[in-house]
Amino acid sequence: MQEKQNFKDSSRFPGRVWFTAGVFTLILVMLLFIRTIFPVLLLILAAILIVVYFHAVRDFIEKKTRWKHHRALLLSVTLTLIVIGLIFWLIGATVQMQIAKLIDIFPTSLETAREQIEQYPVGQQIMTYLSTSGARENLEIITSVFLKSTFGFFGDIYVIIVAGIYFTVNPMLYQQGMIKLLPPSRRMLMSQTFIKIGRSLKQWLIAQFISMLIIFSLVAVGLRIVGLPMWFTLALITGLLNFIPNFGPLLAAIPTVLIGLTISGTTALIVAGILLFTQLLEGAVITPMIQKKMVNIPPALLIISQVIVATFSGFWGLILAAPLLVIVMVSVQELYIKRMDEEVVNEEDVISNP
């Protein structure tokens, strides 16, 4: 009897090996497929953020006017286009002129910065290292990773805008289509999860806009007091790049500090101090105040997500890692943690009421 059982187990062993190998292969193929289409999914996420913005404005209009959805949405899009047009009309020429001037003096600013840095022994060592071929190759590798795009920059923008338009007109068509792919028993849960994801993305987007506006205002006042040339455009760049957590302020600091160096080293230090102060103020005061009413993202988890996602999809990953993390956090909370908590509560009820 024992020999027959051993024979059956041994005859099943190759089947189990092939089954395990098949499952492993399937998982590997799925991972490779996800990695291939991941940049496209990020472009879809960018389009979804456009939808979230327009529908957030629509909800505000509905609340104030009690208009129907379609009329409020049309007004939302119209008002946004009008505001963008007014901004370009009021400050477009000034910003364009200052950006052109900034581009013209940028090489001179780099040369001035190099001369200022080489005045110190540590600076000489840094510039010597940066001039080596190995440092240039490493910089080229990092740049190629973080600046890569899916269809080229303008192609990506085109995909985002077109997809955003279609999603904005009828988002429920695509949402319901995804939900219908699931078993009927799971559709209600997924529908509720989508609603909470949309609400969380809306709160995150509002928080980002508030933070960007505050940072722009503080930096503009500080640079204006210092008397830095092109202060408005530099503050605008800082405010816009603040949309990218952690790395955006660093990117914005490069041209601002370089322009400060064209005046003097002291001015550059003051400018760097202003930027550092605004970021510390944002991290210690502004962001916690906003997150109390909006969505709270753990800072360490955010920067890790940015690095990982940017490695796969470049600059778009750096920009969209935060909303992607919001989606993941809400999904895990709704689809896993809450279910686990409910099971624990049910088990405790069974134990307390045998």
User: Of 75, 41, 42, which is closest to residue 58 (Cα–Cα)?
Assistant: 75
Query: How many whole angstroms separate alpha carbon 318 and alpha carbon 152?
Result: 16
Q: Give me the amino acid identity at 273.
A: G
Handedness of CA 117, 121, 126, 132 (dihedral sign): positive
C-alpha distances in angstroms, 26 versus 15, 63, 277, 278?
16, 49, 51, 49
Per-residue pLDDT of the chain (354 residues; tens, 9 = 90+): 445 445 445 555 555 556 666 666 777 777 676 677 778 888 889 999 999 999 888 888 888 887 888 888 888 888 888 988 888 887 777 777 877 777 777 777 777 777 777 676 766 666 666 666 555 565 555 555 555 555 566 778 888 888 888 888 888 888 888 888 888 888 888 888 888 998 999 989 988 888 899 999 999 999 999 888 888 888 999 999 988 888 888 888 888 888 888 787 788 889 999 999 998 888 777 777 776 666 778 888 888 888 888 887 778 888 888 898 898 888 888 888 777 766 665 555 555 655
Taking 3-state DSSP, the helix, strand and coil percentages for the chain, each rounded to the nearest 5, stand at 90, 0, 10
Chain-centroid distance of CA 293 in Å reads 20
From the number of C-beta atoms within 10 Å of its C-beta (0-12, 13-18, 19+), residue 66 rates as exposed
* pTM of the predicted structure, to 2 decimals: 0.79
CA distance 153 to 285: 35
Find out whether 80 and 54 touch, Cβ atoms under 8 Å: yes
Is residue 242 within 8 Å of residue 256, measured between CB atoms?
Answer: no
Q: Which residues contact 203 (CB under 8 A, 6 or more apart)?
A: 293, 294, 295
